[in-house]
Amino acid sequence: MIETLLRDLRQPEYIHVLINPLPTYGLAMGWVGLIIAFFLKSRRAQIATLIIVLICAASAWPVYEYGEQAENPVISMADRDGQAWLAEHKDRAEDLIYFFYALALLSAVAIALPIKWPKSSTPLAIAVILFGVATLGMGGYIAYAGGKIRHREFRNEPPPKKSTTEEQR
């Protein structure tokens, strides 16, 4: 059993699937916690939930990197429609990953800046809440295409068409 687990942990596609809930589900939990902390007016709870938001938003980087490494093995496993969904999933991730980085940075600022300027904590918490919900939506948009790569049962629409530039490659 340990051997099997260690073998699986050497496969980037396994790691990608294992950690890909962090930027979505983890971020959602941190976001809900931040809203609660905001209404409770608890700075300590805000800091705790901002740390969760920071970690989960920053976790998009290893998810993205392992996804890049897993692309070729997954292409070989996927059918034609799955390959189209994989290309769409990759395009969405490449276009939107920077929003996760920006949210991580904004969360770090919302933790640190109020140490020097306490009055900045409320507007920064509101900014993280608003930017967080937008980033969560983007994460769902990326994950929507990713879930269709190997799961035919989730394919309730035709696969995306490749763009002209992709077809020329």
- Enclosing domain of residue 144: 2-168
Residue 161: the pLDDT is 82
Question: CB of 30 within 8 A of CB of 53?
Answer: yes
pTM, full prediction: 0.86
What's the structural domain count of the chain? 1
Please list the ranges in the chain whose pLDDT falls under 70.
Answer: 5, 8, 152-154, 163-169
Residue 136: the pLDDT is 96
What type of residue is 121?
Answer: S
Q: Which of 130, 152, 129 is nearest to 82 (CA)?
A: 152
27-49: string of b/e by CB count within 10 Å (b at 16+)? bbebbebbeebbeeeeeeebbbb
Q: How many whole angstroms from its chain centre is CA 127?
A: 18
Residue 103: the pLDDT is 98
